[in-house]
Amino acid sequence: HMAEVPSGIDGDEIHNSARALEPGLTAGNMQPEQSVPAVIGRGLAFDGDDDVITIDAEFVGQLDSYSITFWVRYDGSADGSGDYFQRLNGDYFYPRCWRQAGGHVFCQYIVDDTVTALSSGVDQAVGERLHVAMVRDAEAATHRLYVDGELVGENDDPAGASLPDDGYPLELGRGELGTLPGVLDEVRVATAPLSAAWVRADYRSQLEPGVALASVGPVEPAPCPG
């Protein structure tokens, strides 16, 4: 959930709510004031210089299908860039997504040793908060990109194509093109391809948590059997 407050010392743990023994570890001397209000509770602001969260998760290098979803806000210059994540499946760079110089939301991945682009046609303005989801469905041989719950890009992959598995840890907020000057929140990885309906519901329920709640009336204890 990216809700932990960093201490300013490298190696602060950012909790993994699904696997307690796989926390993210901070680097870049992230300071307490970099814990900021975000979509749900608090998120973490990256300095655009050297901040990163590294996650050496069990799934790294093991994925055939995956989904990664997150909220991101870009706070740099209008003509600047910043990486959202890289090394999702353990390759030296890929899969990865970032804001290109000028604003375009852009992703890349490798299948069968070929680097492939997944383009959104969506620009991210300075200060704009977006929900981004990248989904790979191995059975359907597709990669899909969603922004704010809507499908904005889709690629057909070669049937039976495989992902690289070089064993590098997942990195949040940093990549080859530079550290993100902005905020990440609610970073979620699934080892399965989420459906379009799931991604849309994930976006809407996080944006407005109240839509996921229903009133069932007061609790009424059942009578004891006599």
Which residues lie across from 132 on neighbouring strands?
Answer: 70, 147
124: CB partners within 8 A, 6+ apart: 72, 74, 99, 103, 104, 105, 130
- pLDDT, tens digit (0-9, with 9 covering 90-100), for 20-76: 889 999 999 999 999 999 999 999 999 999 999 999 999 888 899 999 999 999 999
Are the CB atoms for 85 and 172 separated by under 8 Å? yes
Asked if residue 220 has pLDDT above 90, the reply is: no
**How many Å apart are CA 173 and CA 86, to the nearest integer?**
8
C-alpha distances (whole Å) from 67 to each of 29, 137, 202 are 29, 9, 12
Q: What is the pTM of this model?
A: 0.91
Evaluate if residue 215 carries a pLDDT over 60: no
What are the distances in angstroms from CA 7 to CA 17, 23, 44, 127?
20, 16, 12, 25
**Quick check: 176 pLDDT over 90?**
no
Q: How far is CA 126 from CA 37, 42, 111, in A?
A: 17, 20, 32
Q: What contacts 183, CB < 8 A, 6 or more positions away?
A: 36, 38, 43, 44, 45, 46, 71, 72, 73, 75, 129
The rounded percent of the chain whose pLDDT value lies above 90 is 78
At 92-118, the pLDDT tens digits run: 999 999 999 999 999 999 988 899 999
- Residue 48 is predicted with a pLDDT of 96
> 151-172 pLDDT, tens per residue?
999 999 998 888 887 889 999 9
Q: What value does the mean pLDDT take over residues 198-213?
A: 82
